[in-house]
Amino acid sequence: MASNASRPRIGITTYLEPATWGIWQREAALLPRVYLDAVVAAGGVPLLLPPVGTDPTILELLDGLVVSGGCDVDPGAYGAQSHPETVDTRPGRDEHERTLISAALDQDLPLLAVCRGLQMLNVTLGGTLHQHLPEVVAHDAHRPSPAVFGTTEVKVEPDTLAARIFGDRASGRCYHHQALDVVAPSLRVTARAGDGTVEAAEVDGHDFAIGVQWHPEENAEDLRLFTALIDASRRAS
- Rounded Cα distance between 222 and 216, Å, is 8
The pLDDT value recorded for residue 5 is 54
- 183: amino acid identity, one letter: V
Rounded to whole angstroms, how far apart are CA atoms 181 and 233? 30
9-236 is a CATH 3.10.180.10 domain: no
CA–CA distance, 212 with 189 (Å, rounded to integer)? 10
Cα Dmax for the chain = 53
Active-site residue, 27 included = no
pLDDT one-digit tens code per residue, 23-81: 999 999 999 999 999 999 999 999 999 999 999 999 999 999 999 999 999 999 999 99
The pLDDT of residue 3: 45
> Could you say which of 96, 142, 177, 215 is catalytic?
215
Task: Encode 44-68: b = buried (16+ Cβ within 10 Å), e = exposed.
Answer: bbbbebbbeebeeeebeebbbbbbb
Categorize the per-residue pLDDT at 9 as very low, low, confident or very high, splitting at 50, 70 and 90. very high
Residue 174 annotated as catalytic: no
Q: Which of 96, 115, 130, 199 is catalytic?
A: 115
132 catalytic residue (yes or no): no
The answer, yes or no, to whether residue 7 has pLDDT greater than 80, is yes
Q: Can you tell me the mean pLDDT for 123-145?
A: 97
DSSP-assigned states of every residue in 161-199: HHHHHHTTEEEEEE--S-EESSPPTTEEEEEEETT--EE
pLDDT at 4 over 50: no
Domain spans of the chain, in order of start: 9-236
Helices 224-236 and 33-42: angle between axes, nearest 10 degrees: 60
pTM for the full model? 0.96
